[in-house]
């Protein structure tokens, strides 16, 4: 039954939001509905609240559309049926609301709409922005107005919940995903979401203010905008394995209860600890169903990996001599049958340790499983080759990308769940190439645009209730806009971002040192990469910063600025602003030429990080190539230095994305296949997702390390847009030592597929299939074949 329910739900949430649209009146006028809240409490404190509205219908409607939002979060039910959750994370100036057609769940006669709303208060995740506890529902038309939120709604404060703050010092790391939960079953209401529930003892709501659409009114606490992304998926997921257990009583435990084939009976007056292994990392809502066990305590600890006494993870599959530390939840059963616990927010885990402490009554665990959640990306792209090991890299990379995508892109699902621009640029390209779904990328671009500060920089992670500025990430936001412009045809959307793009480029221009025509001293955190020599500075409280980034004359950041100026120039020229395009290209030429001349070290034949030539990195030389600073004839020689000179500060997994871009630009794309050893190394130590950096690493799941899922298609298969909007395609494969490859990329007009194999020592042959309205070129060893829509053969000697 659970599997069937999960399947039905996954089908429901896969429907595009455009199937349910807010009315024009809802989108342009002040709502008649009020934001409502509980009586007589501080609305900024931690709290969990249930809201209900009973109403009668003369007949079952064909359509019944409602628009819903809450602060911090809500889960919505109609006549006991789960409808959706939200709001999609955003800020107070752009507070999302969801639109649902609930007609299929309504009946003639009595009906009930119910929702649980929670506010984590001071314990909220960093990614959660908030004003105060509140909920609002607005009917789409006059027909639905009888459910508008107003004082007739009933509210109950759920006292069963207490926050379990996460102690970052205990975990020895930065962790900002919000609190765990302690839940006392005896205080939980049951069947509160169903029409049969008696809510006569609940209090009436108090009203706060009407709902205001963004751009209306004289002032509001939340400015509402329609959600632009689909609902997150929720799919039943069994937990796969028991790795070990111990109990104070004689007890034999098998895994039948994990497979839904039996129960687990825990004796009275005992303590039992069970280590469960999902066998791969996942993002899910753990759900446990128990009976009996009055006054018992069930503790849950969730972790990506186990650690030994020296805090070393080692091989992630091995548990001997290791223990668990991580985020915790506690559930206290009340002795009743089939009592359930599910945290309000999802958990990230491979391992879960459950500790059950019983009192006078034995406890039965009826079931324990996860409800996998995340953005509902579909895997439409694919890649295969004669090297089967690449398939595992592809599989693990896509799992990594999936776990790092929710209502925004996440840098990592366990520790932060924050949308950082440097990470997001790579994640968005993976999304486009593997799923073809650009909605989360659009939202991310809009989020950063909304984060613009008065001095002309976007915030580096957004939405986030703690402001952070990384100026280099503002440049990557411009690059991400360029990526969107090249891959999707939406001129109005791209043009809406241009004013703030100019502000970012202007901020950097004001930082140019006129004596050297390089960037001078800069404020904020000029992060580049977590490279080993760029240590964390406890005094300045920053790390990952190369020489010159703060005090001036960093070649790395100057080259990145020039690289970004060229991308911006291409966009502005397309939209008719040729003067601005010329200006940006001229400025890029000036600063890249000056930086190259002052930082070029003739004895090393490499570009230094600063003009004093005391430090050298792969990063400076990578961005020198990407910025067009290196004379074309010298690019391959410098690329050879980048790959072979181990004295250079080495790029981490994150910055290897740019290493690959430099390989392609310098004509060395065929070497990409030989650079995959870091990903093979991660697989060899039992990782089921790709890590933030090489061991020792904090995060075992970091989407910036999933770049092979993009590069297998964009570099090895060589599938790239050759005109803005992907209106033309360039296919320039780089097989390296591979003998054959096949790839498929979703395109706005259909699919691009290639099936290629080597022909002799230097040739290639195979098939290319393009959407009927797409043309382009196939390039191999300097030879070009014109491509047209449909299936065609390519053959180059």
Query: What percent of the chain shows pLDDT beyond 90?
Result: 94
Can you give the pLDDT at residue 535?
A: 93
Region 623-633: mean pLDDT is 96
Are 519 and 554 spatial neighbours (Cβ–Cβ below 8 Å)? yes
The pLDDT tens digits for 633-655 are 999 999 999 999 999 999 999 99
- In angstroms, the CA 269 to CA 248 distance is 9
The pLDDT tens digits for 731-759 are 999 999 999 999 999 999 999 999 999 99
Q: Please list, in sequence order, all residues whose beta carbon lies within 8 angstroms of the beta carbon of residue 544, skipping any fewer than 6 positions away.
A: 527, 528, 529, 530, 531, 534, 536
pLDDT band at 8 (very low <50, low <70, confident <90, very high): very low
Which domains are present in the chain? 17-229 (2.60.120.260), 234-374 (2.60.120.260), 511-675 (1.50.10.10), 717-797 (2.60.420.10)
Can you give the pLDDT at residue 63?
A: 96
Q: How far is CA 180 from CA 227, 441, 624, 699, in A?
A: 27, 30, 46, 19
- CA 143 to mean position of chain CA atoms: 38
**Least confident interval from 189-193, 254-258, 350-354, 790-794:** 254-258
Can you give the pLDDT at residue 466?
A: 96
Can you give the pLDDT at residue 252?
A: 86
**Could you say which DSSP state residue 423 is in?**
H
pLDDT band at 379 (very low <50, low <70, confident <90, very high): very high
> At 152, is the secondary structure helix, strand, or coil?
coil
Can you give the pLDDT at residue 264?
A: 95
> CA quadruple 316, 318, 323, 329: dihedral positive or negative?
positive
Can you give the pLDDT at residue 13?
A: 37
- In angstroms, the CA 95 to CA 658 distance is 35
Looking at every residue in the chain, the average pLDDT score rounds to 95
683 φ, ψ to 5°? -65, -35
Q: Is the peptide bond before 16 cis (omega within 30 degrees of 0)?
A: no
Region 583-607: mean pLDDT is 97
Query: What percent of the chain shows pLDDT beyond 70?
Result: 97
The angle formed by the CA atoms of residues 590, 591 and 595, to the nearest 5 degrees, is 120
Are 204 and 51 spatial neighbours (Cβ–Cβ below 8 Å)? no
Can you give the pLDDT at residue 251?
A: 87
pLDDT band at 168 (very low <50, low <70, confident <90, very high): confident
Burial of 591-619, coded b for 16+ CB within 10 Å and e otherwise, reads bbebbbebbbeeeeebbbbbbebebbbbb
The pLDDT tens digits for 277-325 are 999 999 999 999 999 999 999 999 999 999 999 999 999 999 999 999 9
Region 620-631: mean pLDDT is 97
Instruction: Give the burial class of 677: count Cβ atoms within 10 A of its Cβ; 0-12 exposed, 13-18 middle, 19 or more buried.
Output: exposed
- In angstroms, the CA 573 to CA 566 distance is 11
Task: Find the Cα–Cα–Cα–Cα dihedral 450, 453, 456, 458, rounded to 10°.
Answer: -50
Judged against a pLDDT cut of 60, whether residue 11 lies above it is answered with no
The pLDDT tens digits for 122-162 are 999 999 999 999 999 999 999 999 999 999 999 999 999 99
User: Which position has the token pair 């940006």?
Assistant: 584
Return the beta strands (E) in 168-248 as ranges: 180-184, 203-204, 206-210, 212-213, 223-226, 233-237, 241-247
Q: Please list, in sequence order, all residues whose beta carbon lies within 8 angstroms of the beta carbon of residue 113, skipping any fewer than 6 positions away.
A: 52, 53, 55, 66, 76, 77, 78, 102, 137, 147
The pLDDT tens digits for 170-222 are 889 999 999 999 999 999 999 999 999 999 999 999 999 999 999 999 999 99
Q: Which two tokens stand for residue 515?
A: 């004596």
Can you give the pLDDT at residue 748?
A: 97
Instruction: Please state at what angle helix 439-450 crosses helix 491-509, rounded to 10 degrees.
Output: 40
CA atoms within 13 A on the CB side of 123: 18
Can you give the pLDDT at residue 3?
A: 34
SS (H, E, C) 338-377: CEEECCCCCEEEEEEEEEEECCCCCEEEEEEEEEEEECCC
Q: Which two tokens stand for residue 382?
A: 């694919």
Q: Please list, in sequence order, all residues whose beta carbon lies within 8 angstroms of the beta carbon of residue 257, skipping any fewer than 6 positions away.
A: 263, 264, 365, 366, 367, 368
Judged against a pLDDT cut of 60, whether residue 2 lies above it is answered with no
Can you give the pLDDT at residue 93?
A: 97
Q: Please list, in sequence order, all residues whose beta carbon lies within 8 angstroms of the beta carbon of residue 60, skipping any fewer than 6 positions away.
A: 103, 106, 107, 108
């Amino acid at each position: 039954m659970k599997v069937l329910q999960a399947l039905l739900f996954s089908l429901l949430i896969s429907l595009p939001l455009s199937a349910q649209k807010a009315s024009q009146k809802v989108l342009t006028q002040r709502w008649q509905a009020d934001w409502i809240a509980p009586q007589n409490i501080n609305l900024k404190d931690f709290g969990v609240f249930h809201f209900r509205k009973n109403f009668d219908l003369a007949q079952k409607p064909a359509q019944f559309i409602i628009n819903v939002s809450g602060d911090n979060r809500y889960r919505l039910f109609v006549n006991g049926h789960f409808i959706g959750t939200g709001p999609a994370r955003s800020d107070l100036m752009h507070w999302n609301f969801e639109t649902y057609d609930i007609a299929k769940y309504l009946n003639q006669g009595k009906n009930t709409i119910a929702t649980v709303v929670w506010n984590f208060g001071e314990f909220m995740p960093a990614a959660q922005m908030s004003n105060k506890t509140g909920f609002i529902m607005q009917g789409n038309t006059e027909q639905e107005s009888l459910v508008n939120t107003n004082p007739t709604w009933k509210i109950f404060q759920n006292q069963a919940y207490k926050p379990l703050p996460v102690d970052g010092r205990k975990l020895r790391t930065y962790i900002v995903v919000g609190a765990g939960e302690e839940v006392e079953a005896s205080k939980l209401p049951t069947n509160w979401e169903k029409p049969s529930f008696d809510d006569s003892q609940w209090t009436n709501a108090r009203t706060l203010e009407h709902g205001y659409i963004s751009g209306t009114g004289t002032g509001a606490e939340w400015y509402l905008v329609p959600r632009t992304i689909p609902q997150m998926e929720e799919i039943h997921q069994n937990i796969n394995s028991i790795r070990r257990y111990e109990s104070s009583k004689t007890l034999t435990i098998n895994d039948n209860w994990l497979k839904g084939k039996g129960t687990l009976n825990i004796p009275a007056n005992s303590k039992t600890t069970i280590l469960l292994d999902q066998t791969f990392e996942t993002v899910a809502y753990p759900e446990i169903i128990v009976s009996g066990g009055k006054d018992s305590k069930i503790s849950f600890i969730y972790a990506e990996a186990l650690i030994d006494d020296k805090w070393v993870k080692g091989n992630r599959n091995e548990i001997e001599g290791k223990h668990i530390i991580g985020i915790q939840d506690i559930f206290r059963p009340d002795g009743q049958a089939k009592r359930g616990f599910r945290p309000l927010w999802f958990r990230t885990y491979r391992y879960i340790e459950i500790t059950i402490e019983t009192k006078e009554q034995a406890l039965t665990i009826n079931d324990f499983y996860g409800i996998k959640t995340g953005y509902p990306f579909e895997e439409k792209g694919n890649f295969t080759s004669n090297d089967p090991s690449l398939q595992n890299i592809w599989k693990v990379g896509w799992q990594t990308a999936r776990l790092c995508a929710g209502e925004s892109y996440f840098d990592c699902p366990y520790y932060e769940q924050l949308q950082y621009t440097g990470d997001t640029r790579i994640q968005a390209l993976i999304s486009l190439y593997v799923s073809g779904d650009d909605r989360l990328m659009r939202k991310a671009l809009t989020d950063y645009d909304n984060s613009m500060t008065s001095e002309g920089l976007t915030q580096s992670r957004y939405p986030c209730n703690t402001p952070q500025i990384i100026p280099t990430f503002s440049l990557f936001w411009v690059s991400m806009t360029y990526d969107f412009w090249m891959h999707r045809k939406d001129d109005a959307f791209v043009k809406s971002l241009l004013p703030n793009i100019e502000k970012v480029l202007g901020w950097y221009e004001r930082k140019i040192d006129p004596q050297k025509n390089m960037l001078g001293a800069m404020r904020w955190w000029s992060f580049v990469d977590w490279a080993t020599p760029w240590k964390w500075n406890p005094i300045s409280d920053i790390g990952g910063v190369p020489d010159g980034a703060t005090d001036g004359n960093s070649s790395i950041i100057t080259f990145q600025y020039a690289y970004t100026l060229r991308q911006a120039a291409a966009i502005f020229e397309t939209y008719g602003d040729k003067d601005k395009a010329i200006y940006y290209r001229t400025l890029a030429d000036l600063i890249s030429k000056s930086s190259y001349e002052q930082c070029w070290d003739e004895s090393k034949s490499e570009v230094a990080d600063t003009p004093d030539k005391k430090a050298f990195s792969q990063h400076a030389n990578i961005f020198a190539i990407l910025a067009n600073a290196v004379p074309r004839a010298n690019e391959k020689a410098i690329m050879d230095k980048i790959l072979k000179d181990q004295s250079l500060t080495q790029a981490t997994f994150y910055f290897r994305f740019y290493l690959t871009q430099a390989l392609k630009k310098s004509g060395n794309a065929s070497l990409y296949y030989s650079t995959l050893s870091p990903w093979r190394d991660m697989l060899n130590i039992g990782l089921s997702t790709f890590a933030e950096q090489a061991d020792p690493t904090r995060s075992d799941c970091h989407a910036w390390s999933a770049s092979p899922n993009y590069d297998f298609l964009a570099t090895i298969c060589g599938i790239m847009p050759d005109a803005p909007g992907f209106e033309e395609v360039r296919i320039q494969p780089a097989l390296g030592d591979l003998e054959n490859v096949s790839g498929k990329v979703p395109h706005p007009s259909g699919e691009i597929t290639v099936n290629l194999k080597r022909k002799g020592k230097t040739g290639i042959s195979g098939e290319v299939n393009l959407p009927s309205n797409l043309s382009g070129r196939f390039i191999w060893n300097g030879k070009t074949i014109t491509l047209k829509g449909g299936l065609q053969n390519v053959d180059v000697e």
